[in-house]
Structure 1
Amino acid sequence: MISALRANGQRGVSFSRRAFAPLAHRRASLATQATSLGGAFNDHATKPLVIGIRREDKNRWERRVALTPAHIRRLIKETGARVLVQPSNTRIFNNASFERVGAVIEEDLSKADAILGIKEVPIDKLIPDKTYLLFSHTHKGQSYNMPSLQAFLDKNIRLIDYELMTDPSSGKRLVLFGTHAGYAGMIDGLHGLGQRLLALGYNSPLIHMGQAHVYPNLECVNTKLRHVADIISDQGLPDAFAPMLFTFTGAGNVTRGARAIFDKLPHENVTVDELPSIARDRYNQRYKNRLLALQIGAQDYVERVGGGKYDRQEYREFPDRYRSVFAEKIAPYTTMLVNGIYWESKYPRLMTTQDLAAIQRKRDLRSRMLAIADISCDIGGSLEFMSHASTIDSPFFYVDAVNAVEHRDIEKPGVQINSIDNLPTELPFEASKHFGDALYPYAKALATGNLADTVLHNAIICQNGALESRHKHLQDDLSKSNGIRVTDARRKRVLLAGSGMVSQPLVDYLARSKDTDITVASNNLDEAKGIAYQFPNTEATLLDISNTASLDKSIKESDVVVSLVPAPLHPRIADAAIRNGKHMVTASYISDEMAELGERAKDASVTILNEIGLDPGIDHCSAMKIIDEAKQRGSKIKSFISWCGGLTAPEHSNNQLGYKFSWSPRGVMTAGLNAARFKINQEIREIQSGALFKNKFGEVPIYPGFSFEGLANRDSLQYAGIYGLDLEDMDTMFRGTLRYSGYAEILDALLRLGFLSLNPSSAVEKNTAFEFLQRTIGLKYGQNNSAQIIDKLAHELNTTPSSTLIARLMLAFEEFGMLGRSRTSGSNNDLLTAPSALDAMAQVLHRSLKYNPGERDMVCLFHEFGIENADGSYDVQTSSLVAYGDPESGETAMAPTVGVPAAIATRLLLEGAVKTRGVIRPTIPEIYNPIIERLAKQGLIFAEQTKHGISKSLQQRMAWN
């Protein structure tokens, strides 16, 4: 196919039109070939190629480009090629900069002969019969990208991988971002270590380092490094962690880039043999004002099994003869591991999970491994416990190998891991320029069809619908990874209906299993893409629930459906799931309409698992565990009280509601209009609809450090039957919602004033928030000063103008932005358009009580059980969970506590671990036991406590107003 010599005898390879033509075009005439894809590579072609530059869409941080405007100016000038550039508003170079150099901004790249990108292309966006240049992450048989490789084959695409563009003589890679990955990985690592030290209670000079993407360019990074270096030299490092040893693995561009950053800080290079003496001499002042750097190779961290010297050639040929001793010789002394090695499965791992656990169990002075910057980002590779890639939004996670827990709480035990897989995009300007400089000669050869050497040819993975000979072994990986076809039935497939706030942690959990493909289906396609393109085995599609044929098709192609759409739509999806014989998961309550599907689901051998979020959800799991354990002991549950609240963290509850909203407040307010039933101290009590706020529980004394009040939550009595309890024999059966003190008073006042009415109202038709306030409380035109508003509020609420309630209410209206009288900038954006006063109030609160950057939410779940034992004694047992959002990444506490349980339930169904059929809740051991166990591995752990012989329980201390 490819001739070894050009016609003139010069050394090199000629890519003829015929050689590169798709198979279907080979029979075409020469005239037809001249305009085909194949015609692009004719040595004698007079018409240059059309080059396409695709928009990077794997995630919002991907701002790099394969060729900069400067490169494209040269390409057009030197070859006459036509260049099409997909528009992008996030790319480091704007659209106009490409137009100025002669490129055409074009969404449709179907006219391009060759398409250049950086990261993987979503399968549904691959254009058949084209040549693609990109990092495909397939040539090592990466299982998570085998569906993508199969798509290249199925769509007759020629795939050229940058990773395989190597120097023919030395084998060194020619086109790469490695150095910039090292730069960014080291910057992020220093930033993370500074944050971790502060969380442990130690200030350090590293706290001044930001994440790489906050710096406009490397010059700014270097300025910051000089500043930090001066502080280290002047003030030193925390005594408790000196000496601070940074261990570097690898000898390639990644590690060189990391060292280029690190070496700008005051440091001293050391050897492995010096480590024990350094540890003994740890109080030496020279370690206080400088860092230590240890550069290691395989000879330092592996040893020959059975003894003998390290032999590099033998290690490469027979790596099974060697084992890693990194955990014994080096890791215990290391503060931060900067990992840049290339690893294959035939080699021993640098560290296993068992190795990490052994290190973390030690309590001597040597065991201070705080962080790992895994720049190589080899999932489950040289570091077995490196389970997944982190993101620029959420760059760090923590592994507590002793307790087999992985979490994101910077203050909890565990080694900090930074494993971002697209680090160079944090430095997009320099990274793109550096990459384009290296790529340009080959882009030029590509555009003209004339290749001076074999670089491009050797980088081809597949073409003409088949793997190249040197990549035929990937056929086994395609089969092993169930990648025989993208829709291969042996792969597990999940359809996620909905793309709201809890979708991302759900997809994040499921995507870690490389045998699972996920489709995020939503009526907001951009939102779905924003989630899907962060994960290699995930795609996005448009969802139209009203289109039965389309819905059936999507569900039929899946194994499990997860419904996160609005609750009224769940039964429609469940009906389709049953019709197509597929299981379904949802976090919402079982409605009457959903319950009616129970028999049909059983007949179809389908499980519709509901109520598996936070509340309802993991509250069921923790409650049933304790209830079933008590029954097994022969004990009786005499009292059950459950509180749950999604709250603002205390330090950010700085408004009169003590509450903020990360999504629409409508659901929060309408929940306050529900009626409620419960049993306390052997008395059944009821609260009518609309009376919930004034019948609050004024004090909920579950934690002395929190000032909680509570609201009864719907019909608590039904849960006696759901939990298998005897209501008649129980003193108390209660479920409630937690809020901070003062919340109910404000909401009750808003209710009484008419702000929570669901009736149609003219007060909300194209009015500002101030006009909405005026009309709702009945102020006449012109009555708009504070005194008049106060008098009107006092009159409507039957209180005095000087009362505390009125003062609080006026402060609340000010916080809600309802006391201003002008429309901001004359924009209609401030006008309210809603069918009812409650809907308008929801708009007002959504605008005014949002979480600000750096603020976090909190989830609190608390059960108390009064247990009567067989011997007549009485115990009080509690089970609690408190979780906080991550202000650094912006991830809420609510999202993972709802999304992760639903994801675990989905995984259980995929594994066939749930045998019960019908419409069910997680109240059976085959569901709640593995969910509690797997939640613990995610850092969501229930704290259980039992007080024996206690007669006074929470129920006797609850004050109901």
Structure 2
Amino acid sequence: MLSVRHTPKLLLRSGGSAIIRRATLATQAAAHSPLVIGIRREDKNRWERRVALTPAHVKQLISETNAQVIVQPSNTRIFNNASFIEAGATINEDLSGADAILGIKEVPIDKLLPSKTYVIFSHTHKAQRYNMPSLQAFLDKQIRLIDYELMVDAKGKRQVLFGKHAGYAGMIDGLHGLGQRLLALGYNSPFIHMGQAHVYPNLECVHTKLRHVADIIEDQGLPDAFAPMLFTFTGSGNVTQGARAIFDDLPHDNVTVDELPFIAKDRYNDRYRRRLLALQVGAEDYVERIAGGPYDRAEYREFPERYRSVFATKIAPYTSMLVNGIYWEAKYPRLMTTKDLAHIQKQKELKSRMLAIADISCDIGGSLEFMSHASTIDSPFFYVDAVNGVEHKDIEKPGVQINSIDNLPTELPFEASKHFADAMYPYAKALALGDLKHPVLNRAIICQDGQLTKPHKHLDKSLAEAQGFRVANTRRKRVLLAGSGMVSQPLVDYLASTKDTDITIASNDLGEAKRLAYQYPNTEAALLDVSDSAALDLLIRDSDVVVSLVPAHLHTRLAESAIRRGKHVVTASYITPEMQALDSAARASNVTILGEIGLDPGIDHCSAMQVIDSAKERGATIRSFVSWCGGLPAPENSDNQLGYKFSWSPRGVLTAGLNPARFKANGQMREIAERQLFANAFRNVPLHPGFAFEGLANRDSLQYAEIYGLDLDGMDTMFRGTLRYHGFADIMQCLLSLGLLSLDAKSHVSANSAAEFLRHALCATPTEDLRQLIARRLGGDQKAAAPLVARLMLALEEFGMLSAEHSPVTAPTSLDAMSKILQHSLKLGAGERDLVCLFHEFGIENPDGSYDVQTSSLVAYGDAESGETAMARTVGIPAAIATRLLLEDAVSTRGVIRPTIKEIYDPLLQRLAHKGLVFAEHTKRGVHNSLQHKMKWHQ
């Protein structure tokens, strides 16, 4: 029989080798003939740069076995394509010519090639439910699965692992996060100089930085408020060894559990300002027999139910940072429960303790009950406030900082790959020679020939129980996300964290969709063409819910296709008359079209209806409703004349200012004509004394009386408005007056620069003085207008419209041109954050005739470190939660609806609170100090 080695290399490049290669893996293994080894490109997320074999190992493998190696091309892998070619490998996208395929992380199900041998970390052997679909795919595709975690010697010791590198990276990231957290609490510390692991080219650079930090600790000391700083390490394996290898570069003393109370009493000892403390603990230190008596290791392992953890009372109160590296199974007591953490956080005397947790083991809901999810390299930290039951990402708010990245070794890809390949090479060599009976390889086979191997037969039960497989009437849930813009990341983060859901991100920018999709194992990208009805129907056909984040005018097309296919739709945009017209068709198809579920509109509806329905239930009447909402840069980043930066569509912001508005104020109906909003801005909106807010009326406020089930005739005030900082409206009114916000098709723009566009719009000659021309065009008292003109000129300079820079501006209208210019010039910069402020005020007449003023408000900031905006969170997460409610069949109402019904707003607000988006509510008696009376309704 022809050996695979005789297959011409040219055929392997073209993918034609599979046609002429007839020998089965079993036959080759028996003959020990060389197999073709494939090395796949890692695609779980953009940070995954590791590889199972380095070019040096590939070169050695080819030399020693005469095997052929095919490597998938990658532009992100730590070793480039050329280095593998030089080693003698073939670069080919198509791995179908390989017999055995080596990788690192899980492989997307649709990319699994049938009848191959895969060697990866599959995360299936412990019956991890979220990966049972993958295991089923290995069985269905007749794949032999070899798992690195099961590659052990005769004594059960693992042979191939990244443990120490996870420990290295986890400790580095932990120190980085601790420095950031201390700074947010108002304290400088030596740790502020530590970066995340991935910013260092290699470990040598890390150790150099640690020596610098060590010098600062010994020279300048640690913050008095947090001394002594105790780092508690759990576990004794490779993970913890790696973490200690990093930590041990810092000046420290090793202590025991028995010493902790005495150290606490002596906390003001100057020694603790210049040295850290390290505590290494084992089970004997943090568990005790429930019935009393000494700890017995053998008994604990056999009868763990006889023991309980005392970590929360014995060790945690003294710990500044917990570095968790233990292996945990459900039969053992948890290291700490959520209740334990809440107890610690309630004690004021412990306010400087338990600042951070580096959960390197990343065991979700495991030894630390409150560790709810894996974080990411992009957004490495989250915070758990167990007292209030809140999880959030605001570094300045209460809570313990948690770092739980599940692919830490990829932050150190060079050393991690080399270390791993050194350990893997003997087994890769055996594999290349077809020796599949090698004891280490053989022990690691989970399934082959469509069957689980004997040691893993117990997984049959897990496969049968896992949602989506071998269970009648159940299957994996599927979401089609149409659009991959600014708010997509938090939405996909939320949905992808539930392991029973697959997500397709469809966009007209396929590259952008792929960049987002590659971050998650259960997500894929697709090209979206809304104008192609047939292609759109195919995309929607396989989904349960369609989330539409495309431009507003395209929502209706998606909804029409979804109704044809009987699929639910979620969108954050306003319900237009065209969308409302689909109500009957949606009902007839048993479909829910849930619109207006972002920020505003969205959670403003939810918080408003919760208060309104509660008032009605106790027999009270809503007499006034005032609502303000705004997405703005944080005050410290509002450093331009407009006081604004864009974390949302600039075009939407600009066009909103052209709308007419209607509202009722103190018993009088008010109207603002089109294009008059800026001229009729509310110059002082007294919500929070620390913010200099002004505002604009928001469209037709009166319609919300009907939407919210209120009696408009019986109300004094019905108003909804948009918040901006002082000065916004003046500058925008100037832009409007100068014709820069025109939607007239005749204002088509084709200019070589923003400055050329400005002069063209103003009909200015090349030499004409713009300041004087603008002053004349704005009219009125030129002396009185001088300060405003000066501000406008500064604004135009900030927009780049007075610059000589040649950057073409092409747009269908002047407003679209301004959108492009402002999006470029007024975007949030690196390290900047935005702000969302939502404020409702209700005037409530009680059944006894008394009058209450109730407020419900939310203030949320973006995360400057990760770049996630508050706008993206407050739009994306509500839409994601609504999607989950539809996937869970928790919404029974059909047709075109808003989140104004209890079955939606109650669970949605509860789940928002778990993500740190909590409304503060206050009630006071009397009406005289209410916004209704303080506002100047001057229009």
Range of TM-score over shorter length? over 0.9
Query: Where does residue 446 of structure 2 map in the other structure?
Result: 461
Aligned partners of 1:425, 1:305: CA distance in 2, in Å? Answer: 41
Asked if residue 792 in structure 1 is aligned to residue 776 in structure 2, the reply is no
Amino acid in the other structure paired with 2:811: A
Amino acid in the other structure paired with 1:717: L
Asked if residue 126 in structure 1 is aligned to residue 112 in structure 2, the reply is yes
Match of 2:148 among 162, 168, 172: 162
Match of 2:801 among 801, 818, 822: 818
Query: 2:718 aligns to what SS in structure 1?
Result: strand
TM-score w.r.t. length of structure 2: 0.94
Query: Where does residue 826 of structure 1 map in the other structure?
Result: none
Aligned partners of 1:468, 1:309: CA distance in 2, in Å? Answer: 41
Aligned partners of 1:305, 1:732: CA distance in 2, in Å? Answer: 63
Q: Deviations over 1:400-422 (max 9, x none)?
A: 11211111111111111100001
Amino acid in the other structure paired with 2:774: L
Query: Where does residue 862 of structure 2 map in the other structure?
Result: 885
Query: Where does residue 804 of structure 1 map in the other structure?
Result: 787
Q: 1:236 to 1:718 in 2, by over 3 A?
A: same
Q: CA RMSD in A?
A: 2.3
Aligned partners of 1:337, 1:588: CA distance in 2, in Å? Answer: 44
TM-score w.r.t. length of structure 1: 0.92
Q: 1:49 to 1:922 in 2, by over 3 A?
A: same
Query: Where does residue 234 of structure 1 map in the other structure?
Result: 219
Show the 5 A alignment for 1:391-402.
391-402=376-387
Show the 5 A alignment for 1:393-412.
393-412=378-397
Match of 2:399 among 414, 418, 428: 414
Aligned partners of 1:90, 1:615: CA distance in 2, in Å? Answer: 39
Asked if residue 423 in structure 1 is aligned to residue 408 in structure 2, the reply is yes
Asked if residue 150 in structure 1 is aligned to residue 133 in structure 2, the reply is no
Query: Where does residue 24 of structure 1 map in the other structure?
Result: none
| Ranges in structure 2 where 5+ consecutive residues have no aligned partner | 5-17
Query: 1:684 aligns to what SS in structure 2?
Result: strand
Q: 1:762 to 1:492 in 2, by over 3 A?
A: closer
Aligned partners of 2:328, 2:515: CA distance in 1, in Å? Answer: 31
Asked if residue 783 in structure 1 is aligned to residue 770 in structure 2, the reply is no
Show the 5 A alignment for 1:226-625.
226-365=211-350, 368-450=353-435, 453-484=438-469, 489-625=474-610
Asked if 2 retains the 8 angstrom alpha-carbon contact of 1:85 and 1:104, the reply is yes
Query: Where does residue 665 of structure 1 map in the other structure?
Result: 650
Amino acid in the other structure paired with 2:850: S
Show the 5 A alignment for 1:799-948.
800=782, 803-823=786-806, 830-948=807-925
- Greater mean deviation of Cα atoms: 116-125 or 247-256: 116-125
Asked if residue 79 in structure 1 is aligned to residue 56 in structure 2, the reply is no
Asked if residue 96 in structure 1 is aligned to residue 79 in structure 2, the reply is no
Aligned partners of 2:497, 2:359: CA distance in 1, in Å? Answer: 17
Aligned partners of 2:21, 2:645: CA distance in 1, in Å? Answer: 63
Aligned partners of 2:27, 2:815: CA distance in 1, in Å? Answer: 63
Aligned partners of 2:324, 2:349: CA distance in 1, in Å? Answer: 24
The structural deviation recorded for 1:208 is 1.6
Query: 1:67 aligns to what SS in structure 2?
Result: coil
Query: Where does residue 51 of structure 1 map in the other structure?
Result: 37
Amino acid in the other structure paired with 1:695: N
Q: Deviations over 1:516-563 (max 9, x none)?
A: 333333333333333333333333333344444444444443333322
Aligned partners of 2:176, 2:450: CA distance in 1, in Å? Answer: 46
Aligned partners of 2:129, 2:517: CA distance in 1, in Å? Answer: 18
Asked if 2 retains the 8 angstrom alpha-carbon contact of 1:212 and 1:426, the reply is yes
The structural deviation recorded for 1:142 is 0.6
The structural deviation recorded for 1:249 is 0.9
Asked if residue 198 in structure 1 is aligned to residue 175 in structure 2, the reply is no
Aligned partners of 1:770, 1:549: CA distance in 2, in Å? Answer: 44
The structural deviation recorded for 1:392 is 0.7
Query: Where does residue 114 of structure 1 map in the other structure?
Result: 100
Query: 1:385 aligns to what SS in structure 2?
Result: coil
The structural deviation recorded for 1:59 is 1.3
**Sequence identity, in percent?**
73
Aligned partners of 1:662, 1:195: CA distance in 2, in Å? Answer: 24
Aligned partners of 2:19, 2:27: CA distance in 1, in Å? Answer: 12
Aligned partners of 1:820, 1:198: CA distance in 2, in Å? Answer: 38
Query: Where does residue 25 of structure 2 map in the other structure?
Result: 38
Query: 1:728 aligns to what SS in structure 2?
Result: helix
Asked if residue 689 in structure 1 is aligned to residue 660 in structure 2, the reply is no
The structural deviation recorded for 1:58 is 1.3
Asked if 2 retains the 8 angstrom alpha-carbon contact of 1:144 and 1:537, the reply is no
The structural deviation recorded for 1:75 is 2.2
Asked if 1 retains the 8 angstrom alpha-carbon contact of 2:736 and 2:742, the reply is yes
Aligned partners of 1:664, 1:908: CA distance in 2, in Å? Answer: 27
Q: Deviations over 1:899-936 (max 9, x none)?
A: 11122222222333323222111112222122222211
The structural deviation recorded for 1:337 is 0.9
Aligned partners of 1:763, 1:122: CA distance in 2, in Å? Answer: 46
Amino acid in the other structure paired with 1:439: M
The structural deviation recorded for 1:449 is 2.1
Q: Deviations over 1:444-493 (max 9, x none)?
A: 22223246831122212122222222111111111111242799834333
Asked if 2 retains the 8 angstrom alpha-carbon contact of 1:678 and 1:686, the reply is yes
Aligned length: 921
- Greater mean deviation of Cα atoms: 704-713 or 524-533: 524-533
The structural deviation recorded for 1:362 is 2.4
Asked if 1 retains the 8 angstrom alpha-carbon contact of 2:32 and 2:435, the reply is no
Query: 2:699 aligns to what SS in structure 1?
Result: coil
Q: Deviations over 1:368-407 (max 9, x none)?
A: 1111100000111111111100001111111111211111
Asked if 2 retains the 8 angstrom alpha-carbon contact of 1:389 and 1:421, the reply is yes
Q: Deviations over 1:681-722 (max 9, x none)?
A: 222121221122111111111122111111111111100111
The structural deviation recorded for 1:648 is 0.8
Amino acid in the other structure paired with 1:218: L
Asked if 1 retains the 8 angstrom alpha-carbon contact of 2:468 and 2:474, the reply is no
Query: Where does residue 46 of structure 2 map in the other structure?
Result: 60
Amino acid in the other structure paired with 1:390: S
Asked if residue 774 in structure 1 is aligned to residue 759 in structure 2, the reply is yes
Asked if 2 retains the 8 angstrom alpha-carbon contact of 1:905 and 1:931, the reply is yes
Q: Deviations over 1:814-844 (max 9, x none)?
A: 1111222342xxxxxx212211111111111
The structural deviation recorded for 1:879 is 1.2
Aligned partners of 1:486, 1:128: CA distance in 2, in Å? Answer: 24
